[in-house]
Chain A
Amino acid sequence: MDPLLSIERLQMHFPLRSLIPWRAPRLVHAVDGVSLHVDAGETLGLVGESGCGKSTLARCVLRLIEPTAGRIRFADTDLTALGEEDMRRRRREIQMVFQDPTASLNPRLSVAATVDEPLALHTPLTAQARRARVDEVLEEVGLGAGLRDRYPHQLSGGQRQRVNIARAIASRPRLVVLDEPTSALDVSLRARVILLLGELKRALGMTYLFISHDLSTVRYLCDRVAVMYLGVVVEEASARELFDHPAHPYTRALLSCIPIPDPDAVQERLALAGEVPSPVDIPAGCRLRGRCPLAQPVCAEPVPVREVAPGHTVACHLV
Protein backbone atom coordinates (compact mmCIF):
# COMPACT_ATOMS: atom_id res chain seq x y z
CA MET A 1 0.00 0.00 0.00
CA ASP A 2 1.24 3.46 -0.77
CA PRO A 3 2.50 5.57 2.08
CA LEU A 4 0.30 8.42 3.24
CA LEU A 5 3.08 10.96 3.00
CA SER A 6 5.96 10.65 0.64
CA ILE A 7 8.80 13.19 0.61
CA GLU A 8 10.99 12.82 -2.45
CA ARG A 9 14.42 14.41 -2.71
CA LEU A 10 13.26 17.53 -0.96
CA GLN A 11 15.55 20.50 -1.06
CA MET A 12 15.30 23.84 0.67
CA HIS A 13 18.04 26.31 0.03
CA PHE A 14 17.85 29.82 1.43
CA PRO A 15 19.85 32.49 -0.32
CA LEU A 16 22.02 34.66 1.89
CA ARG A 17 21.70 38.28 1.06
CA SER A 18 24.92 39.27 -0.56
CA LEU A 19 26.39 42.75 -0.38
CA ILE A 20 27.49 42.55 -3.99
CA PRO A 21 24.29 42.58 -6.00
CA TRP A 22 25.49 40.94 -9.17
CA ARG A 23 27.19 37.96 -7.56
CA ALA A 24 25.15 34.78 -7.16
CA PRO A 25 24.16 34.60 -3.50
CA ARG A 26 25.57 31.94 -1.22
CA LEU A 27 23.06 29.37 -0.12
CA VAL A 28 22.08 27.96 3.23
CA HIS A 29 21.49 24.28 2.52
CA ALA A 30 18.84 23.79 5.16
CA VAL A 31 17.38 20.66 3.62
CA ASP A 32 19.53 18.99 1.01
CA GLY A 33 17.84 16.10 -0.71
CA VAL A 34 15.71 14.29 1.87
CA SER A 35 13.48 11.35 0.99
CA LEU A 36 11.15 9.93 3.61
CA HIS A 37 7.77 8.29 3.79
CA VAL A 38 5.15 7.83 6.48
CA ASP A 39 2.53 5.10 6.29
CA ALA A 40 -1.01 5.66 7.45
CA GLY A 41 -1.34 5.12 11.20
CA GLU A 42 2.39 5.23 11.73
CA THR A 43 4.43 7.68 13.81
CA LEU A 44 7.69 8.71 12.23
CA GLY A 45 10.15 10.48 14.48
CA LEU A 46 12.52 13.00 12.99
CA VAL A 47 15.46 13.80 15.23
CA GLY A 48 18.53 15.94 15.08
CA GLU A 49 20.16 18.86 16.75
CA SER A 50 19.58 22.51 15.94
CA GLY A 51 20.43 23.40 12.37
CA CYS A 52 19.84 19.92 10.97
CA GLY A 53 16.84 21.07 8.96
CA LYS A 54 14.04 19.15 10.64
CA SER A 55 11.88 22.18 11.38
CA THR A 56 12.45 23.50 7.88
CA LEU A 57 11.39 20.14 6.50
CA ALA A 58 8.20 20.27 8.56
CA ARG A 59 7.36 23.66 7.19
CA CYS A 60 7.95 22.47 3.66
CA VAL A 61 5.57 19.55 4.16
CA LEU A 62 2.90 22.03 5.18
CA ARG A 63 3.95 24.36 2.40
CA LEU A 64 4.43 27.18 4.83
CA ILE A 65 7.60 27.72 2.86
CA GLU A 66 8.13 26.64 -0.72
CA PRO A 67 10.81 24.00 -1.23
CA THR A 68 13.39 24.83 -3.87
CA ALA A 69 13.26 21.31 -5.32
CA GLY A 70 11.69 17.91 -4.75
CA ARG A 71 8.17 16.56 -4.34
CA ILE A 72 5.77 16.06 -1.50
CA ARG A 73 3.10 13.49 -2.18
CA PHE A 74 0.17 13.19 0.15
CA ALA A 75 -2.31 10.41 -0.53
CA ASP A 76 -1.93 10.48 -4.32
CA THR A 77 -1.81 14.27 -4.58
CA ASP A 78 1.34 16.15 -5.39
CA LEU A 79 1.24 18.94 -2.86
CA THR A 80 4.10 20.81 -4.43
CA ALA A 81 2.11 21.24 -7.62
CA LEU A 82 -1.02 22.63 -6.00
CA GLY A 83 -2.09 26.24 -6.31
CA GLU A 84 -2.66 28.47 -3.30
CA GLU A 85 -6.41 27.90 -3.06
CA ASP A 86 -6.25 24.14 -3.60
CA MET A 87 -3.54 23.86 -1.01
CA ARG A 88 -5.62 25.86 1.40
CA ARG A 89 -8.43 23.38 1.05
CA ARG A 90 -6.11 20.48 1.57
CA ARG A 91 -5.07 21.87 4.89
CA ARG A 92 -7.99 20.19 6.52
CA GLU A 93 -6.09 16.96 6.24
CA ILE A 94 -2.63 18.05 7.32
CA GLN A 95 -2.31 19.96 10.55
CA MET A 96 0.51 21.07 12.78
CA VAL A 97 1.20 21.36 16.50
CA PHE A 98 3.78 24.01 17.22
CA GLN A 99 6.54 24.18 19.76
CA ASP A 100 5.74 27.24 21.83
CA PRO A 101 2.30 26.84 23.35
CA THR A 102 1.99 30.53 24.14
CA ALA A 103 3.16 31.99 20.86
CA SER A 104 1.06 29.61 18.81
CA LEU A 105 -2.27 30.77 20.22
CA ASN A 106 -3.86 34.06 19.19
CA PRO A 107 -4.15 35.93 22.48
CA ARG A 108 -7.41 37.51 21.38
CA LEU A 109 -9.25 34.32 20.63
CA SER A 110 -10.94 32.22 23.25
CA VAL A 111 -10.25 28.50 23.43
CA ALA A 112 -13.54 27.73 21.72
CA ALA A 113 -12.86 30.21 18.91
CA THR A 114 -9.40 28.77 18.31
CA VAL A 115 -10.61 25.19 18.11
CA ASP A 116 -13.67 26.13 16.10
CA GLU A 117 -11.74 27.80 13.32
CA PRO A 118 -10.63 24.72 11.33
CA LEU A 119 -14.17 23.44 11.52
CA ALA A 120 -15.65 26.71 10.31
CA LEU A 121 -13.17 26.93 7.47
CA HIS A 122 -13.35 23.40 6.19
CA THR A 123 -16.54 21.68 7.22
CA PRO A 124 -20.15 22.37 6.26
CA LEU A 125 -21.30 22.02 9.87
CA THR A 126 -23.72 24.54 11.33
CA ALA A 127 -22.65 26.76 14.21
CA GLN A 128 -24.55 24.59 16.64
CA ALA A 129 -23.02 21.38 15.34
CA ARG A 130 -19.59 22.97 15.52
CA ARG A 131 -20.18 23.98 19.11
CA ALA A 132 -20.91 20.41 20.05
CA ARG A 133 -17.88 19.20 18.17
CA VAL A 134 -15.60 21.72 19.87
CA ASP A 135 -16.78 20.50 23.24
CA GLU A 136 -16.15 16.95 22.16
CA VAL A 137 -12.60 17.72 21.08
CA LEU A 138 -11.89 19.60 24.28
CA GLU A 139 -12.91 16.52 26.23
CA GLU A 140 -10.72 14.35 24.03
CA VAL A 141 -7.63 16.34 24.88
CA GLY A 142 -8.44 16.35 28.55
CA LEU A 143 -9.34 20.02 28.89
CA GLY A 144 -13.04 19.76 29.40
CA ALA A 145 -15.74 21.93 27.85
CA GLY A 146 -15.72 24.20 30.90
CA LEU A 147 -12.59 25.94 29.66
CA ARG A 148 -14.08 26.89 26.30
CA ASP A 149 -14.49 30.59 27.12
CA ARG A 150 -11.07 31.11 28.63
CA TYR A 151 -8.34 33.08 26.94
CA PRO A 152 -4.74 31.90 26.58
CA HIS A 153 -3.42 34.16 29.31
CA GLN A 154 -5.83 32.51 31.70
CA LEU A 155 -4.42 29.06 31.04
CA SER A 156 -1.31 27.27 32.22
CA GLY A 157 1.42 26.15 29.80
CA GLY A 158 0.20 22.58 29.75
CA GLN A 159 -3.36 23.65 29.04
CA ARG A 160 -2.24 25.90 26.22
CA GLN A 161 -0.45 23.04 24.56
CA ARG A 162 -3.59 20.97 24.83
CA VAL A 163 -5.51 23.71 23.05
CA ASN A 164 -2.87 23.61 20.37
CA ILE A 165 -3.43 19.88 20.02
CA ALA A 166 -7.20 20.29 20.05
CA ARG A 167 -7.01 22.76 17.21
CA ALA A 168 -4.84 20.39 15.24
CA ILE A 169 -7.14 17.37 15.57
CA ALA A 170 -10.50 19.15 15.40
CA SER A 171 -10.97 18.67 11.68
CA ARG A 172 -9.84 15.04 11.94
CA PRO A 173 -6.78 15.47 9.76
CA ARG A 174 -5.09 12.43 8.33
CA LEU A 175 -1.61 13.64 9.19
CA VAL A 176 -0.44 15.74 12.11
CA VAL A 177 3.04 17.23 12.06
CA LEU A 178 4.33 17.95 15.55
CA ASP A 179 7.27 20.32 15.83
CA GLU A 180 8.90 19.85 19.21
CA PRO A 181 5.53 19.80 20.97
CA THR A 182 6.98 19.28 24.42
CA SER A 183 10.25 21.20 24.40
CA ALA A 184 8.76 24.35 25.87
CA LEU A 185 6.95 22.44 28.59
CA ASP A 186 8.05 21.65 32.06
CA VAL A 187 9.32 18.14 32.65
CA SER A 188 6.28 16.89 34.51
CA LEU A 189 3.92 18.21 31.85
CA ARG A 190 5.85 16.55 29.08
CA ALA A 191 4.89 13.11 30.24
CA ARG A 192 1.21 14.02 30.19
CA VAL A 193 1.26 15.54 26.75
CA ILE A 194 3.18 12.57 25.36
CA LEU A 195 0.68 10.19 26.89
CA LEU A 196 -2.15 12.22 25.43
CA LEU A 197 -0.59 12.07 21.99
CA GLY A 198 -0.20 8.33 22.34
CA GLU A 199 -3.83 7.88 23.34
CA LEU A 200 -5.10 10.04 20.51
CA LYS A 201 -3.00 8.06 18.12
CA ARG A 202 -4.55 4.81 19.25
CA ALA A 203 -8.10 6.07 19.58
CA LEU A 204 -8.26 8.10 16.39
CA GLY A 205 -5.75 6.26 14.24
CA MET A 206 -3.62 9.38 13.78
CA THR A 207 -0.54 9.48 11.63
CA TYR A 208 2.20 11.61 13.13
CA LEU A 209 5.36 13.18 11.87
CA PHE A 210 7.03 13.82 15.22
CA ILE A 211 9.95 16.20 15.24
CA SER A 212 12.07 16.44 18.33
CA HIS A 213 15.55 16.63 19.71
CA ASP A 214 14.46 14.74 22.84
CA LEU A 215 15.40 11.18 22.03
CA SER A 216 13.80 9.58 25.06
CA THR A 217 10.40 10.97 24.12
CA VAL A 218 10.91 9.80 20.56
CA ARG A 219 11.66 6.31 21.76
CA TYR A 220 8.43 6.26 23.70
CA LEU A 221 6.13 7.52 21.00
CA CYS A 222 7.51 6.65 17.58
CA ASP A 223 7.33 3.55 15.41
CA ARG A 224 10.15 4.55 13.11
CA VAL A 225 12.86 7.16 13.44
CA ALA A 226 14.98 9.13 10.97
CA VAL A 227 18.08 10.99 12.13
CA MET A 228 19.05 14.20 10.35
CA TYR A 229 22.35 16.03 10.27
CA LEU A 230 23.10 19.19 8.31
CA GLY A 231 20.15 18.80 5.96
CA VAL A 232 20.34 15.08 5.16
CA VAL A 233 19.04 11.88 6.69
CA VAL A 234 21.93 9.84 8.03
CA GLU A 235 20.05 6.90 9.47
CA GLU A 236 16.53 5.50 9.39
CA ALA A 237 15.11 2.47 11.21
CA SER A 238 12.34 1.26 13.46
CA ALA A 239 12.53 2.89 16.87
CA ARG A 240 13.61 -0.21 18.69
CA GLU A 241 16.24 -1.05 16.10
CA LEU A 242 17.66 2.47 16.08
CA PHE A 243 18.00 2.75 19.84
CA ASP A 244 19.26 -0.77 20.43
CA HIS A 245 21.55 -1.01 17.41
CA PRO A 246 22.50 2.45 16.21
CA ALA A 247 24.80 2.22 13.24
CA HIS A 248 25.73 5.70 12.06
CA PRO A 249 28.51 7.36 14.09
CA TYR A 250 26.37 10.48 14.51
CA THR A 251 23.47 8.52 15.96
CA ARG A 252 25.80 6.68 18.26
CA ALA A 253 27.43 9.92 19.37
CA LEU A 254 24.06 11.51 20.00
CA LEU A 255 22.80 8.59 22.05
CA SER A 256 25.97 8.46 24.07
CA CYS A 257 25.58 12.11 25.07
CA ILE A 258 22.23 11.68 26.71
CA PRO A 259 22.77 11.14 30.40
CA ILE A 260 20.96 8.06 31.63
CA PRO A 261 19.20 8.49 34.95
CA ASP A 262 21.07 5.60 36.53
CA PRO A 263 24.30 6.36 38.37
CA ASP A 264 25.62 2.86 37.82
CA ALA A 265 25.08 2.68 34.07
CA VAL A 266 28.24 2.56 32.05
CA GLN A 267 28.13 5.26 29.43
CA GLU A 268 31.03 5.90 27.14
CA ARG A 269 30.65 9.21 25.41
CA LEU A 270 31.47 9.03 21.74
CA ALA A 271 32.88 12.48 21.22
CA LEU A 272 32.46 14.42 18.04
CA ALA A 273 35.23 16.93 17.58
CA GLY A 274 34.45 20.59 17.18
CA GLU A 275 31.06 22.07 16.45
CA VAL A 276 28.44 21.73 13.76
CA PRO A 277 29.79 23.39 10.61
CA SER A 278 27.87 26.13 8.88
CA PRO A 279 25.17 24.89 6.49
CA VAL A 280 26.44 27.34 3.92
CA ASP A 281 29.71 25.74 2.92
CA ILE A 282 29.01 22.06 3.02
CA PRO A 283 32.04 19.81 2.74
CA ALA A 284 32.01 17.30 -0.10
CA GLY A 285 31.31 13.68 0.72
CA CYS A 286 30.10 12.80 4.20
CA ARG A 287 28.99 15.81 6.18
CA LEU A 288 30.25 14.44 9.44
CA ARG A 289 33.73 14.00 8.04
CA GLY A 290 35.51 16.78 9.95
CA ARG A 291 34.15 15.64 13.29
CA CYS A 292 33.83 11.88 13.05
CA PRO A 293 36.33 9.87 15.12
CA LEU A 294 36.11 7.05 12.58
CA ALA A 295 36.74 9.15 9.48
CA GLN A 296 38.75 7.58 6.65
CA PRO A 297 39.96 8.99 3.34
CA VAL A 298 37.05 7.29 1.56
CA CYS A 299 34.65 9.55 3.45
CA ALA A 300 35.41 12.36 1.04
CA GLU A 301 33.51 10.46 -1.64
CA PRO A 302 29.73 10.76 -2.11
CA VAL A 303 28.01 8.76 0.57
CA PRO A 304 26.18 5.52 -0.23
CA VAL A 305 22.99 4.56 1.57
CA ARG A 306 23.29 1.02 2.85
CA GLU A 307 20.71 -1.27 4.36
CA VAL A 308 22.33 -2.88 7.38
CA ALA A 309 19.23 -4.75 8.51
CA PRO A 310 15.68 -5.05 7.15
CA GLY A 311 14.18 -1.58 7.18
CA HIS A 312 17.35 -0.07 8.65
CA THR A 313 19.29 2.23 6.31
CA VAL A 314 22.46 4.17 7.05
CA ALA A 315 24.30 6.78 5.00
CA CYS A 316 27.88 5.89 5.83
CA HIS A 317 30.89 4.44 4.06
CA LEU A 318 32.05 2.44 7.00
CA VAL A 319 29.15 0.24 8.04
Chain B
Amino acid sequence: MSTLAYVSADGGPARRSAAALLWRRLSRNVMSVAALAVLVVVALTAVGAPVIMPYDPDEPDAEHALEAPSGRHWLGTDLYGRDQLTRIVHAGRVDLLVALAATAIALSIGSVLGAVSGYRGGWIDQLLMRVIDTIQAFPSFILAMGIAAALGNSVTNIVIAIAITHVPIYGRLIRGEMLRIREMEYAEAARTVGNPRRRIIFHHLLPNCLPPVIVQATLAMGFAILTVAALSYIGLGIRPPTSEWGAMTAEGAGYIVSGEWWVFLFPGTAIMATVLSFNLVGDALRDVLDPRMKGV
Protein backbone atom coordinates (compact mmCIF):
# COMPACT_ATOMS: atom_id res chain seq x y z
CA MET B 1 0.00 0.00 0.00
CA SER B 2 1.31 3.41 -0.84
CA THR B 3 0.72 4.61 2.68
CA LEU B 4 3.69 2.53 3.69
CA ALA B 5 5.81 5.20 2.10
CA TYR B 6 4.71 7.42 4.92
CA VAL B 7 5.24 4.95 7.74
CA SER B 8 8.33 6.49 9.19
CA ALA B 9 6.78 9.82 8.32
CA ASP B 10 4.95 10.44 11.53
CA GLY B 11 7.37 8.43 13.65
CA GLY B 12 7.98 10.28 16.87
CA PRO B 13 11.08 9.71 18.97
CA ALA B 14 10.91 6.62 21.15
CA ARG B 15 10.34 8.32 24.43
CA ARG B 16 11.72 6.83 27.58
CA SER B 17 9.70 4.25 29.40
CA ALA B 18 7.53 5.53 32.20
CA ALA B 19 9.61 3.81 34.89
CA ALA B 20 12.86 5.41 33.78
CA LEU B 21 11.28 8.85 33.76
CA LEU B 22 9.86 8.22 37.23
CA TRP B 23 13.20 7.26 38.68
CA ARG B 24 14.98 10.16 37.14
CA ARG B 25 12.61 12.70 38.61
CA LEU B 26 12.46 10.99 41.96
CA SER B 27 16.22 10.90 42.28
CA ARG B 28 16.49 14.65 41.83
CA ASN B 29 15.26 15.33 45.35
CA VAL B 30 17.94 14.62 47.95
CA MET B 31 15.52 14.34 50.83
CA SER B 32 13.40 11.76 49.13
CA VAL B 33 16.40 9.67 48.20
CA ALA B 34 17.55 9.77 51.82
CA ALA B 35 14.08 8.82 52.99
CA LEU B 36 13.96 5.98 50.51
CA ALA B 37 17.32 4.78 51.82
CA VAL B 38 16.01 4.78 55.39
CA LEU B 39 13.03 2.71 54.35
CA VAL B 40 15.19 0.25 52.51
CA VAL B 41 17.39 -0.15 55.58
CA VAL B 42 14.40 -0.64 57.85
CA ALA B 43 12.89 -3.17 55.49
CA LEU B 44 16.09 -5.12 55.01
CA THR B 45 16.92 -5.27 58.70
CA ALA B 46 13.35 -6.26 59.46
CA VAL B 47 13.54 -9.13 57.03
CA GLY B 48 16.97 -10.26 58.16
CA ALA B 49 16.40 -9.65 61.87
CA PRO B 50 16.51 -13.21 63.21
CA VAL B 51 19.72 -13.82 61.34
CA ILE B 52 21.68 -10.63 61.81
CA MET B 53 20.76 -9.67 65.34
CA PRO B 54 23.07 -11.20 67.94
CA TYR B 55 20.69 -11.29 70.86
CA ASP B 56 17.34 -12.87 71.52
CA PRO B 57 14.73 -10.14 71.73
CA ASP B 58 12.60 -11.84 74.32
CA GLU B 59 15.15 -13.50 76.58
CA PRO B 60 15.53 -11.59 79.85
CA ASP B 61 18.95 -11.03 81.28
CA ALA B 62 18.53 -9.55 84.75
CA GLU B 63 22.22 -8.93 85.27
CA HIS B 64 22.39 -6.35 82.55
CA ALA B 65 19.15 -4.51 83.15
CA LEU B 66 18.94 -0.82 82.27
CA GLU B 67 22.45 -0.51 80.96
CA ALA B 68 23.34 2.61 79.04
CA PRO B 69 24.50 2.33 75.42
CA SER B 70 27.92 0.68 75.26
CA GLY B 71 30.10 -1.42 73.05
CA ARG B 72 28.18 -4.56 73.94
CA HIS B 73 24.73 -3.08 73.69
CA TRP B 74 24.80 -0.29 71.13
CA LEU B 75 21.44 1.08 72.15
CA GLY B 76 21.49 -0.04 75.74
CA THR B 77 19.18 -2.52 77.48
CA ASP B 78 15.69 -2.28 78.88
CA LEU B 79 14.24 -3.16 82.25
CA TYR B 80 14.60 -6.88 81.64
CA GLY B 81 18.12 -6.68 80.30
CA ARG B 82 17.07 -7.26 76.72
CA ASP B 83 19.20 -5.65 74.01
CA GLN B 84 17.41 -2.58 72.68
CA LEU B 85 18.86 -2.73 69.20
CA THR B 86 17.70 -6.29 68.70
CA ARG B 87 14.28 -5.47 70.05
CA ILE B 88 13.90 -2.41 67.89
CA VAL B 89 14.78 -4.30 64.75
CA HIS B 90 12.41 -7.10 65.62
CA ALA B 91 9.74 -4.59 66.43
CA GLY B 92 10.28 -3.18 62.99
CA ARG B 93 9.19 -6.50 61.58
CA VAL B 94 5.96 -6.41 63.48
CA ASP B 95 5.14 -2.81 62.75
CA LEU B 96 5.94 -3.04 59.06
CA LEU B 97 4.05 -6.26 58.70
CA VAL B 98 0.98 -4.89 60.36
CA ALA B 99 1.12 -1.69 58.35
CA LEU B 100 1.66 -3.53 55.10
CA ALA B 101 -1.09 -6.06 55.72
CA ALA B 102 -3.57 -3.43 56.81
CA THR B 103 -2.77 -1.23 53.84
CA ALA B 104 -2.99 -4.09 51.38
CA ILE B 105 -6.37 -5.19 52.70
CA ALA B 106 -7.76 -1.67 52.86
CA LEU B 107 -6.52 -0.93 49.36
CA SER B 108 -8.07 -4.05 47.89
CA ILE B 109 -11.45 -3.60 49.49
CA GLY B 110 -11.46 0.16 49.02
CA SER B 111 -10.51 -0.11 45.36
CA VAL B 112 -13.27 -2.55 44.53
CA LEU B 113 -15.84 -0.49 46.37
CA GLY B 114 -14.65 2.76 44.85
CA ALA B 115 -14.41 1.35 41.34
CA VAL B 116 -17.88 -0.14 41.32
CA SER B 117 -19.30 2.92 43.01
CA GLY B 118 -17.67 5.35 40.61
CA TYR B 119 -18.47 3.48 37.44
CA ARG B 120 -22.02 2.43 38.17
CA GLY B 121 -23.29 5.47 39.99
CA GLY B 122 -26.93 5.44 40.96
CA TRP B 123 -28.12 3.63 44.05
CA ILE B 124 -25.04 1.42 44.33
CA ASP B 125 -22.92 4.50 44.56
CA GLN B 126 -25.21 6.06 47.16
CA LEU B 127 -25.26 2.93 49.27
CA LEU B 128 -21.53 2.33 49.27
CA MET B 129 -20.75 5.94 49.94
CA ARG B 130 -23.05 5.97 52.94
CA VAL B 131 -21.24 2.94 54.34
CA ILE B 132 -17.98 4.78 53.88
CA ASP B 133 -19.41 7.92 55.43
CA THR B 134 -20.35 5.87 58.48
CA ILE B 135 -16.84 4.60 58.90
CA GLN B 136 -15.41 8.06 58.45
CA ALA B 137 -17.79 9.58 60.95
CA PHE B 138 -15.70 8.12 63.74
CA PRO B 139 -12.30 9.61 64.46
CA SER B 140 -10.10 6.92 63.02
CA PHE B 141 -8.06 6.22 66.10
CA ILE B 142 -11.13 5.91 68.32
CA LEU B 143 -12.60 3.50 65.82
CA ALA B 144 -9.44 1.44 65.73
CA MET B 145 -9.40 1.40 69.53
CA GLY B 146 -13.00 0.30 69.62
CA ILE B 147 -12.48 -2.53 67.16
CA ALA B 148 -9.29 -3.68 68.86
CA ALA B 149 -10.99 -3.63 72.24
CA ALA B 150 -14.00 -5.51 70.90
CA LEU B 151 -12.10 -8.19 68.98
CA GLY B 152 -9.21 -8.56 71.36
CA ASN B 153 -5.67 -7.40 70.71
CA SER B 154 -4.02 -10.01 68.55
CA VAL B 155 -1.96 -9.10 65.54
CA THR B 156 -4.75 -10.19 63.19
CA ASN B 157 -7.32 -8.07 64.92
CA ILE B 158 -5.10 -5.02 64.92
CA VAL B 159 -4.64 -5.44 61.20
CA ILE B 160 -8.40 -5.69 60.72
CA ALA B 161 -9.01 -2.64 62.88
CA ILE B 162 -6.58 -0.49 60.96
CA ALA B 163 -7.71 -1.83 57.61
CA ILE B 164 -11.30 -0.90 58.31
CA THR B 165 -10.40 2.65 59.24
CA HIS B 166 -8.37 3.02 56.05
CA VAL B 167 -10.91 1.65 53.57
CA PRO B 168 -12.67 5.01 53.13
CA ILE B 169 -9.45 6.69 52.00
CA TYR B 170 -8.99 4.37 49.08
CA GLY B 171 -12.67 4.07 48.37
CA ARG B 172 -13.12 7.78 47.89
CA LEU B 173 -9.90 8.23 45.99
CA ILE B 174 -10.66 5.50 43.50
CA ARG B 175 -14.22 6.65 43.12
CA GLY B 176 -13.02 10.15 42.29
CA GLU B 177 -10.54 8.88 39.75
CA MET B 178 -13.13 6.59 38.27
CA LEU B 179 -15.58 9.44 37.83
CA ARG B 180 -12.93 11.29 35.89
CA ILE B 181 -11.72 8.38 33.83
CA ARG B 182 -15.03 6.87 32.86
CA GLU B 183 -15.70 9.93 30.71
CA MET B 184 -12.48 9.47 28.79
CA GLU B 185 -12.64 8.23 25.29
CA TYR B 186 -10.73 5.05 25.96
CA ALA B 187 -13.45 4.02 28.36
CA GLU B 188 -15.94 4.52 25.55
CA ALA B 189 -13.61 2.73 23.17
CA ALA B 190 -13.42 -0.23 25.53
CA ARG B 191 -17.19 -0.46 25.26
CA THR B 192 -17.36 -0.12 21.50
CA VAL B 193 -14.75 -2.83 21.09
CA GLY B 194 -17.15 -5.13 22.91
CA ASN B 195 -15.82 -5.49 26.45
CA PRO B 196 -18.25 -6.65 29.07
CA ARG B 197 -18.72 -4.16 31.85
CA ARG B 198 -16.70 -5.98 34.46
CA ARG B 199 -13.68 -6.06 32.21
CA ILE B 200 -14.03 -2.38 31.46
CA ILE B 201 -13.97 -1.50 35.14
CA PHE B 202 -11.27 -3.85 36.35
CA HIS B 203 -9.05 -4.44 33.39
CA HIS B 204 -9.12 -1.05 31.72
CA LEU B 205 -10.08 1.65 34.14
CA LEU B 206 -8.94 0.57 37.57
CA PRO B 207 -5.25 0.25 36.67
CA ASN B 208 -5.38 3.82 35.47
CA CYS B 209 -6.78 4.99 38.78
CA LEU B 210 -3.78 3.71 40.63
CA PRO B 211 -1.09 6.41 40.53
CA PRO B 212 -2.70 8.62 43.19
CA VAL B 213 -3.47 5.48 45.17
CA ILE B 214 0.21 4.59 45.27
CA VAL B 215 0.95 7.99 46.76
CA GLN B 216 -1.83 7.63 49.28
CA ALA B 217 -0.81 4.12 50.26
CA THR B 218 2.74 5.24 50.95
CA LEU B 219 1.51 8.01 53.20
CA ALA B 220 -1.02 5.71 54.82
CA MET B 221 1.70 3.24 55.74
CA GLY B 222 3.12 5.90 57.97
CA PHE B 223 -0.27 6.44 59.61
CA ALA B 224 -0.75 2.74 60.06
CA ILE B 225 2.52 2.46 61.93
CA LEU B 226 1.55 5.39 64.12
CA THR B 227 -1.77 3.75 64.87
CA VAL B 228 -0.20 0.43 65.86
CA ALA B 229 2.33 2.25 67.99
CA ALA B 230 -0.36 4.34 69.64
CA LEU B 231 -2.58 1.36 70.29
CA SER B 232 0.32 -0.50 71.84
CA TYR B 233 1.27 2.55 73.83
CA ILE B 234 -2.10 2.52 75.56
CA GLY B 235 -2.02 -1.22 75.92
CA LEU B 236 -4.58 -2.15 73.30
CA GLY B 237 -2.04 -3.18 70.73
CA ILE B 238 0.48 -5.94 70.36
CA ARG B 239 0.79 -7.94 73.54
CA PRO B 240 4.11 -8.27 75.29
CA PRO B 241 6.63 -9.86 75.22
CA THR B 242 6.52 -9.28 71.44
CA SER B 243 8.55 -6.18 70.82
CA GLU B 244 6.79 -3.28 69.21
CA TRP B 245 7.93 0.30 68.94
CA GLY B 246 4.94 1.88 70.62
CA ALA B 247 4.97 -0.53 73.52
CA MET B 248 8.68 -0.01 73.98
CA THR B 249 8.21 3.71 74.03
CA ALA B 250 5.49 3.35 76.64
CA GLU B 251 7.78 1.28 78.81
CA GLY B 252 10.52 3.80 78.42
CA ALA B 253 8.29 6.72 79.35
CA GLY B 254 8.43 5.67 82.95
CA TYR B 255 12.21 6.04 83.02
CA ILE B 256 12.63 9.55 81.65
CA VAL B 257 12.64 11.12 85.07
CA SER B 258 14.98 8.57 86.57
CA GLY B 259 17.50 9.24 83.84
CA GLU B 260 17.48 6.12 81.69
CA TRP B 261 16.83 8.13 78.55
CA TRP B 262 17.74 5.40 76.07
CA VAL B 263 14.79 3.19 76.82
CA PHE B 264 12.21 5.48 75.23
CA LEU B 265 14.37 7.58 72.92
CA PHE B 266 15.46 4.90 70.48
CA PRO B 267 12.11 3.24 69.86
CA GLY B 268 10.53 6.70 69.61
CA THR B 269 13.13 7.75 67.08
CA ALA B 270 12.52 4.58 65.13
CA ILE B 271 8.83 5.43 64.84
CA MET B 272 9.57 9.00 63.87
CA ALA B 273 12.21 8.18 61.30
CA THR B 274 10.13 5.51 59.62
CA VAL B 275 6.92 7.49 59.48
CA LEU B 276 8.76 10.59 58.30
CA SER B 277 10.45 8.61 55.58
CA PHE B 278 7.15 7.23 54.36
CA ASN B 279 5.76 10.74 54.25
CA LEU B 280 8.72 12.12 52.34
CA VAL B 281 8.70 9.34 49.81
CA GLY B 282 4.95 9.67 49.44
CA ASP B 283 5.24 13.40 48.85
CA ALA B 284 8.00 12.93 46.33
CA LEU B 285 5.94 10.30 44.53
CA ARG B 286 3.04 12.71 44.40
CA ASP B 287 5.15 15.38 42.76
CA VAL B 288 6.58 12.94 40.32
CA LEU B 289 3.44 11.06 39.44
CA ASP B 290 1.21 14.02 39.02
CA PRO B 291 0.44 15.68 36.64
CA ARG B 292 2.90 14.40 34.06
CA MET B 293 1.91 10.83 34.73
CA LYS B 294 -1.68 11.40 35.63
CA GLY B 295 -3.76 9.05 33.60
CA VAL B 296 -0.62 7.37 32.33
Contact = CB atoms under 8 A, between A and B. Distances in A.
In the complex, A touching B (Cβ < 8 A): yes
Interface in A90-140: 91-92, 94-96, 98-100, 103-109, 117-118, 121-122, 139-140
Contact of A98 (B6, B189, B196, B207): B189
Nearest to B14: A154
Counting contact residues on chain A (CB < 8 A from B), the size range is 35 or more
A104 B193 contact: no
Nearest to A154: B15
Contacts, number: 99
Tell me which of A95, A104, A141 has the highest count of chain B C-beta atoms within 10 A of its own C-beta: A104
B194 A118 contact: yes
A199 B1 contact: yes
B128 to A, nearest CB: 22
Given A98-B188, A98-B189, A154-B14, A107 B296 contact: yes
Interface string B189-218: 111111110000000100110000000000
A199 B2 CA distance: 9
Nearest to B5: A142
Contacts of A14: none
A96 B195 CA distance: 14
Contacts of A203: 1
Interface in A63-108: 64, 88-89, 91-92, 94-96, 98-100, 103-108
Contacts of B188: 64, 98, 104
Interface string A127-164: 00000000000011111100000110111111100101
A157 B18 CA distance: 18
A192 interface: yes
Interface string B158-194: 0000000000000000000000000011101111111
Contact of A108 (B2, B12, B184, B207): B207
A92 to B, nearest CB: 6
B7 A142 contact: yes
Contacts of B14: 150, 154
A29 interface: no
B122 interface: no
A158 B208 CA distance: 23
B12 A192 contact: no
Nearest to A162: B10
Contacts of B190: 106
Given A91-B194, A104-B186, A122-B194, 17 more contacts: A64-B191, A64-B192, A104-B189, A106-B189, A106-B190, A108-B207, A109-B204, A121-B193, A139-B4, A142-B3, A144-B4, A150-B14, A153-B18, A155-B12, A157-B12, A167-B193, A192-B6
Interface of B: 1-4, 6-7, 9-12, 14-15, 17-18, 184-186, 188-196, 204, 207-208, 295-296
